[in-house]
Amino acid sequence: MTDEEIANYIVREPHGRTTLKNLCRELQVRGDERQALEAAIDRLVEKGLLIEMRSGQYMATQSSREFSVGKLSMHRDGFGFVKPVVPIPNMVGDIFIGSQSAAKAMHGDKVMVRVSRVDRDGKADGEIVRILERAYRTVVGEFRVRRRGNFVKPHDERIKQWVYIPDGYEIPPQGAEVDRIGKIAASPKSVEEMDGLIVNVEVLEYPAEGEDAVGRIIEILGKEDDFGVDVEIMIRKHQIPHHFPDEVLQQARSMPTEVSAVECMGRVDYRELDIVTIDGETARDFDDAIYAELLPNGNFQLQVHIADVSHYVEPHTPLDIEAAMRGTSVYFPDRAVPMLPIELSTEICSLKPHVDRLVVSMIMEIDHQGDILGQQFHRGVIRSAERMTYTNVQKIYDGDAEQKERYSRLLPRFDLMKELAEILLRHRQKRGSIDFDLPEPIIELDELGQMVSVQRSPRLFSQRLIEEFMLAANQAVASELQSKLSFAMYRIHELPDSKRVAAFEEIAAHFGYSLTRGALPIQRYSMVDKKRDGRKVRRDVELVNKDIGITSKDYQKLIRKLEGKPEERILNYLMLRSLRQARYSASNEGHFALAMNHYTHFTSPIRRYPDLIVHRLLLGAKYSDQELKEIADDTSFTERRSADAERELIEWKKIKFMIQYVGETFHALITNTTKYGFFVELEELFVEGLVPMDSLHDDKYFYQETVRRIVGQRTRREFAIGDKVLVLLDRVNSTDKKLEFSWIDETASKPKKKKKK
């Protein structure tokens, strides 16, 4: 039985609960089968689908209206919320936990909650009755010397409990890591010298009611403003594995440094083709290479060659176990925390130019309408002709004479790839694929690693070209998996939640827009095959939320309507928030945003563990359904962890960068309005902040929620989303990582000139 079948079996038991002994007797399992059942029960308890009662009984969470399991999310004011793993009937949202009960646990802990009350509106209150799993073994924070002892104040303000450091536990033990980026940090000569330093503390005793946590210092990172310490804080705050164990490094260092003739045997040889990689200027690991040509029948052949990481990283080896735990590489502005050691990620697995490299190749035949008519995959060997960058390829497309001369022999190939990418893009847009095109921040550092600017990243066609080719390859691979396996590894994006869409509609209506206006309930229909030139062509069909009849085309239409409008960015952002997060799944449920019935991740096995699993599945490796489900869940978590760390660091760097501009004025755009003020984004810098309501001194203002405007009581002056304003940076709140601005009335005073950098 699968884990889900066991959970469903317990649901049907009297009162939705049973003991392990009874379960074994009813299912008639013994010996190895009993051990497998015990392991399944443990997994279900860990996931929160079963609750282990003190009586020795296991209760199905979905059978209980009194108890629930979930992770505690703390608010800085001391209270918290628990998001149930299994939704409780008639309950809306998360369970509120008062500050007294929340103090029993730490932010991120998995807890069992007794639901004490559910209001008529579905909001629930509860109290923590048991801590099931601790979120933090270590905590990063600032060392504080106090009269009553020494403490570490956690950097994450959601962790309310300071950690007490007993005498003798302040200095890391001999041999412990007290450095960063391989450099030995100066050890403090006394405890007093440690005051204010950023440290990492191992938690020895977790806080009981009214008592402090107890720990010992295991790392001294330096002062918060020292170069690189902010990255080190983020790594530890988000519990990102960042040191490879010795056995992993030994295995990596034993890898060959070049491809041998023996390794090439039995592989399709592509070394004579003008295959190229196209990546960003700072990229060091190149895991995808491309090539396109016209076939005799006039169709395109697209070749996507991906580094054959599976050749070097075999299942259950130290390298594989470590890669599975990391799940993904993490990219910060000044460095990366790789999933694989550099001996693989930037050397033998990286598709470097002019050297032989082993690949898994997906070869596709694509017609001039953008349909994939045929596909095949196999192991190959390539020798990349050039390491191209997005910037250089874009210059070629823009007619730059120097770049065209430099790469003259490749120009016909680039022209053909551009034509194919444009066809694929039109085909995807026609299908209803959503493309918000929201800007990403680019952090520019000087030679000392100090941030000197933050700008919006340009969207180059050279980047779109790679995106289209990778999307096509991922779709083709997913189709291959779907046709051969009942369970595999997919990248899914579920249908949008009706409640989130309704919340967006309420805001969009203030601007005269609607996603669902005119939408009618549509039955989702099955995959169909269309014949072309005597061959079957797999066609995607619309994924529809039947409650409101909404499809990805509705999102796409509204995005086009918003192009160039003042409210474009904010509504695009809110539309994005109305969608669910994409995730990995062992079952194929389609990808709503891409308007694809099957999709996976195949193209980045150097930096994403699911891609490595997909390679293995394509090449015949066997995984149980349960193994695939666990890998999908684990890698979805590590992906979110990585994204949170990257995003938080960039926001923190922006805050520190803006300190030099306190007292300066900026032209800005209002991106949101609330009852306590309005948010602005600076036009010259990709930075956001708040203009508090109480800083508007020329009148008494109030918030009109129905139209989302801030209106002056006497002057009737209005502030609305999309308005352009002049603001002055009043203060930088480093603790809360927020910027506060004040509005400048351009009609009443002459603005100051912005300081030149």
Tell me, what DSSP letter sits at residue 306?
Answer: E
Weakest mean pLDDT among 467-471, 592-596, 746-750: 746-750
118-157 as b/e: b if 16+ CB within 10 A: beeeeebebbbebbbeebbeebbbbbbbeeeebbbebbbe
Q: List all residues 6 or more positions away from 225 whose beta carbon is below 8 Å from its beta carbon.
A: 656
> Tokens 């007093």, residue?
192
Answer CATH for 3-131 from 2.40.50.140, 1.10.510.10, 3.40.50.300, 1.10.1060.10: 2.40.50.140
- What does DSSP say about strands 268-269 and 372-383: parallel, antiparallel, or unpaired? parallel
Rg (CA), the chain: 28
At the topology level of CATH, where does 138-224 sit? Answer: OB fold (Dihydrolipoamide Acetyltransferase, E2P) (2.40.50)
* Partners of 710 in the β-ladder: 703, 719
Task: Give 617-636 pLDDT, tens digit per residue.
Answer: 999 999 999 899 999 999 99
- 616 phi, psi to nearest 5 deg: -65, -40
Long-range pairs, 449-458, Cβ under 8 A, ≥24: 449/227, 449/228, 449/334, 450/227, 451/333, 451/653, 451/656, 451/657, 452/757, 453/657, 453/685, 453/757, 454/650, 454/653, 454/654, 454/657, 454/685, 454/686, 454/687, 455/685, 455/686, 456/686
Sheet holding 300-307, edge to edge: 268-269, 372-383, 356-366, 300-307, 288-294, 276-279, 386-389
Per DSSP, the residues of 554-583 read HHHHHHHHHTT-TTHHHHHHHHHHHSPPPE
* Partners of 738 in the β-ladder: 733
Give the integer Cα–Cα distance in Å for 491 and 472. 14
Average pLDDT of every residue of the chain: 88
> 332: closest CA among 653, 591, 27, 29?
653
Please give the structure tokens belonging to residue 16: 């939705």
Helix axes 461-484, 390-397, angle to 10 degrees: 110
Give the integer Cα–Cα distance in Å for 269 and 253. 27
Q: What percent of the chain has pLDDT over 70?
A: 92
- pLDDT category, 535, cuts 50, 70, 90? low
Give the integer Cα–Cα distance in Å for 374 and 652. 48
On the question of a common fold for 3-131 and 662-744, the answer reads yes
Tell me, what DSSP letter sits at residue 184?
Answer: P
- 279 phi, psi to nearest 5 deg: -145, 180
Q: List all residues 6 or more positions away from 48 whose beta carbon is below 8 Å from its beta carbon.
A: 61, 69, 70, 84, 85, 86, 110, 132
Task: Give 421-454 pLDDT, tens digit per residue.
Answer: 999 999 999 999 998 777 777 888 877 777 888 8
- Is-contact 494 483, C-beta < 8 A? no
Domain map of the chain by residue range? 3-131, 138-224, 246-463, 495-579, 662-744
Answer CATH for 662-744 from 2.40.50.140, 3.30.565.10, 2.60.120.1360, 3.40.50.1470: 2.40.50.140
Q: Between 684 and 601, name the one with better pLDDT.
A: 601
Q: List all residues 6 or more positions away from 532 whose beta carbon is below 8 Å from its beta carbon.
A: 367, 371, 373
Q: What percent of the chain has pLDDT over 90?
A: 58
- Is-contact 96 73, C-beta < 8 A? no
- pLDDT category, 175, cuts 50, 70, 90? very low
Q: Using the predicted structure, report yes or no on whether residue 588 has a pLDDT greater than 60.
A: yes
Q: List all residues 6 or more positions away from 646 whose beta carbon is below 8 Å from its beta carbon.
A: 330, 331, 332
- What does DSSP say about strands 490-492 and 583-585: parallel, antiparallel, or unpaired? antiparallel
Task: Give 235-288 pLDDT, tens digit per residue.
Answer: 999 999 999 999 999 999 999 999 999 999 999 999 999 999 999 998 889 999
Return the SS3 of 529. strand
470-484 as b/e: b if 16+ CB within 10 A: bbbbbbbbbbbbbee
- What does DSSP say about strands 138-146 and 198-205: parallel, antiparallel, or unpaired? antiparallel
Give the integer Cα–Cα distance in Å for 373 and 537. 6
Q: What is the mean pLDDT of residues 155-183?
A: 72
Residues in the chain: 757
